[in-house]
Amino acid sequence: MSKKQNKLITKEILNNAIKGAFLKFDPRFMVKNPVMFMVEVGSILTLILSIFPTLFNGNSDERIYNILITFILFIILFFANFAESIAEGRGKAQAATLRQSKKDSKARHIKSDGSEEMLNSSELKIGDIVLVKAGELIPNDGEIIEGTASVDESAITGESAPVMREAGGDFSSVTGGTTVLTDFLKIKILVGAGESFLDKMINLVEGAARQKTPNEIALNTLLIVLSLSFLMVVVSLYPFMQFLGVSLPISWLVALLVCLIPTTIGGLLSAIGIAGMDRVTRFNVIALSGKAVESCGDVDTMILDKTGTITFGNRLANEFYEVQGISKEEMIKACVLSSLKDETPEGKSIVALAQKMGYELEGNDIKEFIEFSAQNRMSGVDLQDNTKIRKGAFDAIRAYISEMNGKIPSDLETKVMEISNLGGTPLVVCKNEKILGVIYLKDTVKPGLKERFDELRKMGIKTLMCTGDNPLTAATIAKEAGLDGFIAECKPEDKIKAIKKEQAQGKIVAMTGDGTNDAPVLTQADVGIAMNSGTQAAKEAANMIDLDSNPTKILEVVEIGKGLLITRGSLTTFSMTNDIAKYL
């Protein structure tokens, strides 16, 4: 845990925090905290009296006493401001991570004469052509003009499954910061400096601001009332004592005011937050803010990202569907043979599903394994008897069968559409020129979520899922996971709008996510929970990190938050009673 903390509090953050602590002495900032503002006003008065001890009919012998009072009050103010500056420094790290990913990006720029030169992504202009090879980062947003490749977009979206990108059609757009996994791509840059997807994310992160919880607002109001009440008491005491012929040093009145105002609440609130942060670590959650833990006690709405949060993000085999005229056994055996040497999660899941259904094959007849290629979008095996078994995307297998003068079964497209409508991925299987059926690949919902969401519902917490999927797919996943609702075809801006809509109704919103595109919404939410399996930007945007990547971990955190609220309420009651007793 200490290693993690060391990463969160860097030397740069400490230096900025010290500078920020002094800047926060500005009365325009201090007035937002009534207790500390009173302390600052008192420190200014005692500082003046330290310089001019005879002011207000004072005694020059009290200079040392006044200096000590001023020093103590200054130390109290400095450390209060320093702690707040540290917290702010942690929060600002999110935009720095996004900027760093842009800063380190390099590009192979293709000149007009066909030669290559290496440039920083910031030097690229609209219309430039770049070449990106396997294993390299795409330098900026653009459109593919040549090539087909598998692209890892997990650094941006948080989704683990690579996606296919190719020239022409609906899959030609690429995002800067993603990685080409296979083959190569020639990309035409479509955006200028400061206009890329990452730049938009940075602007959204910096534009989002956390709001105070209703409890914080109520407590702030109480502190203002109490502080003003005791201020009037102390101010009226001076002329009253003068009338009685008793001379009271101003420094004594300042000390009396500091004693009377509810410093117990202000002094112990940080301790409560730290205790909450320590308690959540028992549940494998890192809390970067004590206020975040307290806010969990008031959460009304929880918004979750789908991929990596509700689902695993890996497409796994769920069912085998044979076409007319093909037996289930023939279909499954072909699926197993094509996947025995397939090391992808999809391939392994096909073999596992077949074994679960009682099919065991050793693959002694396999002559050659054909690996997946981004060019043909198929994989499979060639057997000793020259039988060719292939599995792949519907369009790819259809083109493959057409080249071999095979026939497309009449019910194939219907089965493919049914799987797509359910939110799954159809994987078509063929043997030579004959199509055997379709494998239903499904993004699996994490086990136990439905029961835990039921518990959240009983606690009065509404659960919503945000996803870029179509409404039909979103509805299927939401129903299986037991969610209260969903927002389909959702972009980062839509997520922020959804959070602000809930907050405008006075609700406390918790958001979970794992992708860079979730960073702005994690910042906007009252409680931002990032999955440990997610991107670094998401973790730094959030104020809590779940090391187990379990979105329902908020159950335990909510219980701790409610406990902290009870503790804070007890301290508030004690402090008020204590101050009233002193006043009487």
**pLDDT, tens digit (0-9, with 9 covering 90-100), for 375-431:** 677 889 999 888 999 998 888 899 999 988 888 998 998 998 888 777 788 899 999
Q: Which CATH class is domain 101-197?
A: mainly beta
Q: Which is the catalytic residue, given 141, 152, 199, 305?
A: 305
Q: What's the whole-number average pLDDT of the chain?
A: 79
Name every residue whose Cβ is closer than 8 Å to that of residue 211 and which is 6 or more positions away in sequence: 503, 526
Give the separation between CA 476 and CA 423, rounded to whole angstroms.
7
**Does the pLDDT value for residue 338 go beyond 60?**
yes
pLDDT of residue 327: 92
Higher pLDDT, 124 or 500: 500
**Percentage of residues in the chain having pLDDT higher than 90:** 11
Which tops the pLDDT comparison, 576 or 433?
A: 433
Q: Are residues 192 and 89 in contact, defined by beta-carbon separation less than 8 angstroms?
A: no
Q: Measure the CA–CA gap between 84 and 78, rounded to whole angstroms.
A: 10
Q: CB under 8 Å to 236, separation ≥6 — which residues?
A: none
**Fold match between 101-197 and 286-310+446-562?**
no
- Decide if pLDDT at 258 tops 80: no
Poorest-pLDDT segment among 252-266, 272-286, 319-333, 454-468: 272-286
Q: Establish whether 305 is a catalytic residue.
A: yes
pLDDT classification of 62: cutoffs 50, 70, 90: confident
Match 């055997």 to its residue by tokens: 436
- The position carrying tokens 């192979």 is 108
Report the pLDDT value the prediction gives residue 2, as an integer from 0 to 100: 39
211-248 pLDDT tens trace = 555 666 777 777 778 778 878 888 888 888 878 877 77
**Span of 160-169, 250-259, 369-378 with lowest mean pLDDT:** 160-169
Feature table: binding site for ATP:
342, 346, 391
pLDDT tens digits along 547-571: 777 776 777 787 788 777 787 778 7
Residue 208 reports pLDDT greater than 60? no
pLDDT-derived band at 103 (thresholds 50, 70, 90) equals: low
Do 226 and 576 touch, CB atoms closer than 8 A? yes
Domain ranges, ordered by start, for the chain: 2-91+208-261, 101-197, 286-310+446-562, 313-444
Q: How crowded is residue 112: how many other Cβ atoms within 10 Å of its Cβ?
A: 6
Mean of the pLDDT values across residues 423-445? 88
Residue 6: band (very low, low, confident or very high) from pLDDT cuts 50, 70, 90: very low
Mean pLDDT of 29-49: 81
pLDDT of 92 higher than 70: no
CA dihedral 302, 307, 313, 319 (to 10 degrees): 90
8-state DSSP, 323: P
Q: Please provide the DSSP assignment of 213-274 as one string.
A: -HHHHHHHHHHHHHHHHHHHHHHHHHHHHHHTT----HHHHHHHHHHHS-HHHHHHHHHHHH
Minimum mean pLDDT range among 199-208, 259-268, 325-334, 512-521: 199-208
What pLDDT shows up at residue 1? Answer: 41
Q: What is the pLDDT of residue 89?
A: 63
Q: What is the pLDDT of residue 4?
A: 42
pLDDT of residue 391: 93
For the domain made up of 313-444, the CATH class stated in words is alpha beta
Fold of 286-310+446-562: Rossmann fold (3.40.50)
Residue list, annotated binding site for Mg(2+): 514, 518
